[in-house]
């Protein structure tokens, strides 16, 4: 577990699941109260608690725990965490909240979708309903000292996805709405697992661009500058992947062939190809699950088209 101060009032805790650095971040905002954005998976909850201790945050000072969506790598720890943070309320998308209160189905589906990786993330514990705030678009939460978190509904990656605009630094906690940021390479790659909605994701990105953020705080991973430029580049990258998937499907190519053609065409991806291919998690999530998510999306769009 490492802590990085990324602004006067924001710290990043590297949660390091299975010892993997620079992969999952939790952010701690310190104003009059304290808010945590993203908890990471259940398996790293002790790392998060050690991080809070190091930051001299007392458990009772935490007023809010905000999560972008209910995928295990973003919010799997929340049930366990709230047992320690007795004053904290959880902020989650209204469509995610029933699964946070009763995570059995979420866990079963995650095991199916993620396989071995679900064990790396660990089983989520339930959150009592009375501690959940089912968030809707533009709800705002006051942390004090001019720090506010504004909820921005950003669907596409998932049907239960939010990002948080932070008013003092004018930065956005992106969750998975803006891709995966490989901070050492200053490069973004898609996170588009099935059932991905590329059309809706593009609308969400447009919404984020209109906020003119100064910074992006990626859950995977870290603070990024040139925020608007990055969001625009991500839009382009998604459209490129969609086009290659469309051509591949027309030619009857399989996932592997389409994945290879994406690598051949995507200059950003080429920059990090080696890193991704040798990464224990990204090798699967980016080059297989993300590619598959775009392929399935294109297939669905084709079959939904009315016959002439
Ligand atoms: Zn996700």
**223 CB-side CA count, 13 A:** 16
pTM over 0.85: yes
Tell me, in angstroms, the distance from the centre of ligand 1 to residue 29's CA. 22
Tell me, in angstroms, the distance from the centre of ligand 1 to residue 227's CA. 20
- Could you tell me if 295 and 249 are in contact, meaning their C-beta atoms sit under 8 angstroms apart? yes
The whole-number pLDDT of residue 13 equals 98
pLDDT tens digit sequence for 237-260: 999 999 999 999 999 999 999 999
Tell me, in angstroms, the distance from the centre of ligand 1 to residue 252's CA. 28
Tell me, in angstroms, the distance from the centre of ligand 1 to residue 30's CA. 26
Percent of the chain with pLDDT over 90: 96
In this structure, of 47-61, 63-77, 257-271, 293-307, the range with the lowest mean pLDDT score is 293-307
Tell me, in angstroms, the distance from the centre of ligand 1 to residue 308's CA. 37
β-pairing, 215-218 vs 222-224, is antiparallel
Tell me, in angstroms, the distance from the centre of ligand 1 to residue 269's CA. 19
- Give the pLDDT band (50/70/90) at residue 306: low
Tell me, in angstroms, the distance from the centre of ligand 1 to residue 268's CA. 21
Q: How far apart are CA 189 and CA 272, in angstroms?
A: 9
Tell me, in angstroms, the distance from the centre of ligand 1 to residue 307's CA. 34
User: How confident is the prediction for the chain on average, in pLDDT?
Assistant: 96
- Could you tell me if 48 and 77 are in contact, meaning their C-beta atoms sit under 8 angstroms apart? yes
pLDDT at residue 147 tops 80: yes
- Give the pLDDT band (50/70/90) at residue 65: very high
pLDDT at residue 305 tops 70: no
The DSSP H or E segment spanning 13 is strand 10-14
pLDDT at residue 224 tops 70: yes
pLDDT tens digit sequence for 14-35: 999 999 999 999 999 999 999 9
- Give the pLDDT band (50/70/90) at residue 302: confident
Tell me, in angstroms, the distance from the centre of ligand 1 to residue 138's CA. 21
Tell me, in angstroms, the distance from the centre of ligand 1 to residue 5's CA. 25
Phi first, then psi, for residue 181 (nearest 5°) are -100, 120
What's the mean pLDDT in 38-47? 98
Tell me, in angstroms, the distance from the centre of ligand 1 to residue 69's CA. 7
pLDDT at residue 7 tops 60: yes
Tell me, in angstroms, the distance from the centre of ligand 1 to residue 157's CA. 7
The whole-number pLDDT of residue 28 equals 98
- Give the pLDDT band (50/70/90) at residue 267: very high
Tell me, in angstroms, the distance from the centre of ligand 1 to residue 158's CA. 7
Tell me, in angstroms, the distance from the centre of ligand 1 to residue 221's CA. 13
> DSSP states of 166-231 as a string?
ETTTTEEEEETTT-EEETTTTEEE----SS--HHHHHHHHHHHHHT--SEEEETTTEEESSHHHHH
Q: How far apart are CA 161 and CA 163, in angstroms?
A: 7
pLDDT at residue 303 tops 80: no
Tell me, in angstroms, the distance from the centre of ligand 1 to residue 292's CA. 14
Tell me, in angstroms, the distance from the centre of ligand 1 to residue 193's CA. 8
Tell me, in angstroms, the distance from the centre of ligand 1 to residue 260's CA. 23
Tell me, in angstroms, the distance from the centre of ligand 1 to residue 58's CA. 29
What's the mean pLDDT in 129-152? 97
Tell me, in angstroms, the distance from the centre of ligand 1 to residue 145's CA. 31
């Amino acid at each position: 577990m490492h802590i990085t101060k990324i602004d006067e009032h924001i710290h990043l805790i590297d949660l390091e699941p299975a010892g993997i650095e620079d992969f999952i971040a939790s952010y701690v905002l310190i104003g009059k109260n304290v808010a945590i954005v993203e908890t990471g998976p259940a398996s790293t909850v002790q790392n998060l608690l050690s991080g809070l201790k190091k930051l001299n945050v007392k458990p009772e000072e935490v007023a809010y725990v905000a999560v972008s969506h209910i995928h295990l790598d973003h919010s799997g720890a929340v049930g366990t965490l709230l047992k320690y943070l007795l004053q904290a309320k959880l902020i989650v998308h209204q469509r995610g909240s029933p699964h946070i209160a009763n995570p059995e189905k979420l866990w079963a589906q995650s095991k199916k979708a993620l396989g071995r990786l679900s064990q790396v993330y660990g089983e989520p514990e339930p959150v009592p309903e009375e501690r959940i705030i089912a968030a809707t678009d533009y709800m705002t939460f006051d942390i004090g000292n001019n720090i506010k978190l504004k909820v921005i509904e950003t669907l596409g990656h998932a049907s239960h996805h939010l990002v948080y605009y932070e008013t003092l630094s004018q930065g956005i906690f992106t969750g998975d709405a803006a891709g995966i940021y490989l901070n050492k390479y200053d490069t973004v790659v898609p996170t588009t697992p099935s059932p991905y909605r590329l059309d809706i994701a593009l609308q969400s990105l447009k919404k984020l661009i209109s906020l003119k953020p100064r910074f992006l705080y990626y859950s995977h991973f870290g603070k990024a500058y040139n925020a608007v430029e990055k969001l625009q580049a991500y839009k382009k990258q998604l459209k490129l992947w969609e086009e290659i998937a469309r051509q591949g499907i027309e030619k009857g190519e399989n996932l592997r062939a389409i994945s290879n053609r994406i690598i051949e065409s995507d200059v950003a991806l080429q920059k990090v190809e080696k890193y991704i291919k040798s990464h224990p998690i990204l090798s699967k999530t980016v080059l297989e699950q993300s590619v598959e998510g775009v392929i399935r999306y294109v297939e669905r769009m084709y079959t939904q088209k009315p016959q002439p």
